[in-house]
Every structure is written in C-alpha cells, then in structure tokens.
Structure 1
Amino acid sequence: MLSYSSYILIGLAALSVTCHAENNYPGIFGVPGIPGGGGLRGPPDFLAAQLYNAVSNLQHGLLQLEAALTLNGQIRKVGQKIFASNGKRADFATSLRTCEQFGGTLATPKNEAENKAIMDIVKQYNQYAYLGIREGETPGQFKYINGMPLDYSNWHQNKPDGKGKEKCVEMYTDGTWNDRSCNVNRLTICEF
C-alpha cells in the first residue's frame, strides 16, 4: 500500500504528463531517442527539471508534515501505512464511510506493529475503536472488509463469541479484539 504522500506525487506526475501532452509534449513515456521511445516527444529538459524540483519540494514538505503530525500524536505511521483519528465516535457504517470519504479505510492491523500503532491511538483517546474486519457468511469466520481472510489476529481471551450476532470487530485499550454489534458508537480510526 502506498503512503498518502506517494499518492500525491503520482497524481502530480500524472497531472504534469497530461498538461504537457496537451501542449504537444506527450509525456515522459515514449520519449524519442530513449530506447522504447516510440517516436513520441517528452517535455523539454527545462520543464522536466522544473517538474522534478516541484515534486521534490512537495515530497519534502509532505514528509515534514507527516513528522509533525506524528510528533503531536495525531497520526501513527507503520511501514507504508498511516493511521489517524479525529477522536470522533460513530457506528461501523458511518466510521467506514468517513474513512472512505477521505481516501482511506478503517484501520486494519495486519501484523503486530500495525496493531500496536492502532492500540496507541485507542489508548490516547481511551475509547474502543472499530477495525476494518467483519464476520463473513459463516458465523465465527472473520475477514478483512475487502473480503480477504484474516492472516493476523489478536483476539481477547474466549473471543470471538457472538456466534453470528456480533458481526463487527472492536479493539480494546489493551490492543486485543472483540466481536461486537455494528450499531454501537466506537472511535473512528482510519488508515491511509
């Protein structure tokens, strides 16, 4: 999964390529004189240098912003994932919709380090939080919200125990998981 800053950089590059294509500069791919160029022209050197500098400056700024937010405890970064919360509580569907509205999804730990990062946010707000995990068609069988089977779990002792009645998953302040009905308000934590 790409970080938020990577998506911005890709978007800027795509926008630049599109803008240059409209100005008779078809983009970076297919540049004449470069193996596999296909005879298409790319941006002139001075524009390529400006694009590189602009992207480098944006990347540097985004890294500084990420660091500042991390330092203030507003986000947690693990590998390529960023976990963040606005401190608000909502039911599962509303939490998921909120995260998707901002280009993310509900926090979904796929290893111990990600689980700890989410737990740190749960502890900070001292509130249980929904995870991006739901019960599948078979009672007791939980999956990521994208439908893939779990390859990591951290269930609390004797959980899950809802037997088809508790279809969502919450994280306790100790980082363990519990199956829970989806209509209870819990802390919203998104991943990007």
Structure 2
Amino acid sequence: MRCEFSCVLAFVKYKKAIFVSTFSVTLTALIPGFSSAINYDFTRRVDKKYFVSHKRPGSFDDAVQFCTKRGLVLALPKNEEENTALKQVFEGTLENAWLNVDNSKEGKFQVDLKGHPLTFSKWGDGEPKVPNGDKGCTMLAESGAWQVTYECSFNALIVCEI
C-alpha cells in the first residue's frame, strides 16, 4: 500500500508569485515505520514506536526468531502508556504475549535480550518468581502485569516492535 499526495509551494512577494514548485511526498516517508506496520493484523502506535502482531501464538524462541527474521525486536514496553497499548493485542482473547526480557541468566530479569537494563517493569504480585535460581521467560498477562513462566515452550502471542 502506498499513499501519495502532492503539494504546491508558492513563494509570494508583494502578491506576485516568484517561484512555484510541485513535489510529491509519500506517507511512508512522513511516518517512520508506517510501511512495515500496515502489514500486520494488530498495530498500535505509541509515540515513535509501533507494536505489531499477526495475533498468532508461538514459543518464546519462536517469538524471538519471528521478530528477528523481520529486522524487528520482541515487544518491550518502556512506560505505562506502552504497556497499556501492548495489552490491547488481547482484545477478546485470554492470551499472554512474550516480552523482550532476558531469560539467560539464572534469577535475573533486569535486562532485555541485548543486555540493556530495563527502564520500566510492571511485575505482578510476587514476580519475577525465581525459585531455585531457575531460568524463565517473561510474558505480559491480559491484566497488564508481567509474569515469569518456566515453560518457555508455552504458546503466547508474538508481538514485535518497530
């Protein structure tokens, strides 16, 4: 899908046109990420970030692979507004969605998959659960709370961010 429109600029000095120029601008150039975002069943924009999904479930590894293959990253809200927008993927379902929280270090859920510290989290009561130093994967529940599951093969919704 390509949206295009033309603009006419006229520089006027003392009610006389000095220079007239016509140019075309594509909508995708005006809204970064727009062309990628329109190809998904679910799209939510928050500030400059888009959350996108085909609303299909998969394992944590499937989710990481799906996003990476498309040059995207697994979704990770950076504030309450983004967390609320991401929660909208659940409309009419009883699903969870995988989050971009590192599960490779035992008992630590403080960085994303690239090792960047989390600047926001919304852990549910008693979370992150880290009994016996087990590893786990983080999901966003329908309630908006984050929770850890040790069943990383569990099918949860795959949501990427642009």
Q: Which has the higher strand share?
A: 2
Amino acid at match of 1:187: L
Gaps of 5+ in 1: 1-48
Deviations 1:104-156 (CA, angstroms, capped at 9, x unpaired): 11111111111111111134443101001123535144311110111110000
Paired residue type of 1:108? L
Q: Any conservation in 1 of the 2:43–2:51 contact (CA below 8 Å)?
A: yes
Larger helix share, 1 or 2:
1
Question: What SS does the aligned partner of 2:99 have?
Answer: strand
DSSP 3-state at the match of 2:101: strand
Q: CA deviation at 1:76?
A: 0.4
Equivalent residue for 1:172? 141
Unaligned runs of 5+ in 2: 1-20
What residue in structure 1 maps to residue 3 of structure 2? none
In structure 1, what is the equivalent of residue 80 of structure 2? 112
**Secondary structure, aligned partner of 2:90:** helix
1:90 maps to which residue?
58
Match of 2:123 among 155, 168, 179: 155
Inter-partner Cα distance in structure 1 for 2:159 and 2:92: 12
Task: Give the TM-score normalised by the residue count of structure 1.
Answer: 0.62
Measure the CA separation in 2 of the matches of 1:96 and 1:148: 16
| Number of residues of Structure 1 aligned to a counterpart in Structure 2 | 137
TM-score of the superposed pair, with normalisation by structure 2? 0.72
Cα RMSD for the two superposed structures = 2.9
Moved over 4 A (4+): 60-63
Q: Distance in 2 between matches of 1:76 and 1:90?
A: 20
Q: Equivalent residue of 2:98, what SS?
A: strand
How many angstroms does 1:162 deviate by?
Answer: 2.7
In structure 2, the residue matched to 1:186 is 156
Percent identity over the alignment is 26
Aligned to 1:16: none
- Superposed, 1:46-85 pairs within 5 Å as 53=24, 56-59=25-28, 74-85=42-53
Q: Does 1:132 align with 2:111?
A: no
Shift of 1:73: 7.2
Q: Distance in 2 between matches of 1:103 and 1:141?
A: 24
